[in-house]
Amino acid sequence: MLVVDLGQSGSRVRIDGQEIISERGKLNGEAVIDALEVIFLQLDTFKTDTVALACTGFNGIVSDPQPFLTMCSKFFGATKVAVIDDGLAGFVGALGGSTGVVLSIGGGVVSVGGREGKFAHRDGLGSTFGDEGGGFWLGKLGITKALGIRQGRGNDQILLDVFADQVTAFDALDVKNGAEAATLAIHSAKKLFEAADAGSPMAIAIRDEGAALLAQTVIATWIGAGGSTSDSPEIAIQGGPSKNQKYVDTIKTVIAATLPNVKFIAARGDNLDGGQWIAENMLTDAAPLLRWATN
């Protein structure tokens, strides 16, 4: 079996238990199927019957799976393809079927909750109008503030110093609002955390706002899945930005103010685990988050 976890900041592939990491993710404005084709061209030739594709970019509504089967048939001889919203893969992988919410934070943001067979999907709206609190959002605001300070619009020397390399990289961009700029923003999220840890007032404000927005997303997901504020859902927070403990702690504090009985847990698995489990056990569509195509 081939399992793919396509993200914005990179991708991972599992082939019969062996994992491959690629820095190539879905670029800003790129179609999901086009990003996958680029990744497939990087893989060695092999054959497999079943492919599970857990992908960012669907915004909670998986598109027609037939073109994905056609592509996977061409590359791998596949006869079955499960096309999965990355939020559902993250939910299944992290909670293993338990009741609760999984917040996945990468370059973007997606939150999926489940309760008694009912699922809810929140955010995953893309960097232009959504993904609040995610890597792109954090890095973009950090660079924006640093550029403003350089122009005299603000006074936060700590932020400007920490973002010195990002400002230089911005200056070198031929196109300031294209795919390379979006990638720069995503990769700058960790600099925002560095600036906040160094005491930058602007960075701290951005970090805290992002945490509050993510907490709202989690709460809305649980309520959307039919939960109530008195329940005790399990909640897992995963993804690159979640490696910053202060960020996670702030998210948890805001969530607990509304869901006082919440149980925060470490993810039991990841998107690859979830994608594989879905392909092996959820053999029919679970629209709009999962769609199958078979020959």
Residue 127 counted as domain residue: yes
Residue 187 counted as domain residue: yes
Q: Same structural domain for residues 108 and 224?
A: yes
Predicted local confidence at residue 8, as pLDDT? 82
Candidates 3, 188, 152, 186; CA nearest to 81 is 3
122 strand-pairing partners: 111
Q: Same structural domain for residues 111 and 71?
A: no
Residue burial 137-169, b: 16+ Cβ < 10 Å; e: rest = bbbbbbbbbbbebeeeebebebbbebbeebeeb
- Structural domain span for residue 132: 97-267
Q: Same structural domain for residues 253 and 215?
A: yes
**CATH code assigned at 162:** 3.30.420.40
Helix (H) or strand (E) holding 168: helix 164-172
Q: Same structural domain for residues 153 and 136?
A: yes
Residue 166 counted as domain residue: yes
Predicted local confidence at residue 179, as pLDDT? 86
Candidates 195, 285, 289, 207; CA nearest to 251 is 207
Q: Same structural domain for residues 62 and 189?
A: no
**How far is Cα 6 from Cα 151, in angstroms, rounded to an integer?**
37
In which residue ranges of the chain is pLDDT below 50?
none
Task: Quote the number of domains for the chain.
Answer: 2
Residue 67 counted as domain residue: yes
Residue 92 counted as domain residue: no
Residue 91 counted as domain residue: no
Predicted local confidence at residue 119, as pLDDT? 87
Predicted local confidence at residue 16, as pLDDT? 86
Cα 5–chain centre separation? 10
Sequence-ordered list of residues with C-beta below 8 angstroms from that of 184, at least 6 positions apart, any chain: 139, 143, 166, 169, 170, 173
The residue type found at 266 is A
Q: Same structural domain for residues 78 and 190?
A: no
Helix (H) or strand (E) holding 211: helix 201-224
Candidates 115, 121, 122, 89; CA nearest to 238 is 89
Q: Same structural domain for residues 186 and 101?
A: yes
**How far is Cα 257 from Cα 244, in angstroms, rounded to an integer?**
21
**How far is Cα 289 from Cα 86, in angstroms, rounded to an integer?**
9
Report how far apart, in Å, the C-alpha atoms of 22 and of each of 6, 41, 283 are.
Answer: 9, 12, 28
How many secondary structure helices (H) and strands (E) does the chain include? Answer: 11, 11
Residue 149 counted as domain residue: yes
Q: Same structural domain for residues 138 and 235?
A: yes
The angle subtended at Cα 248 by Cα 266 and Cα 259, nearest 5°, is 80
**How far is Cα 136 from Cα 189, in angstroms, rounded to an integer?**
7
Q: Same structural domain for residues 186 and 247?
A: yes
Candidates 214, 238, 216, 223; CA nearest to 119 is 223
Torsion angle (degrees, nearest 10) of CA 66, 106, 249, 188: -170
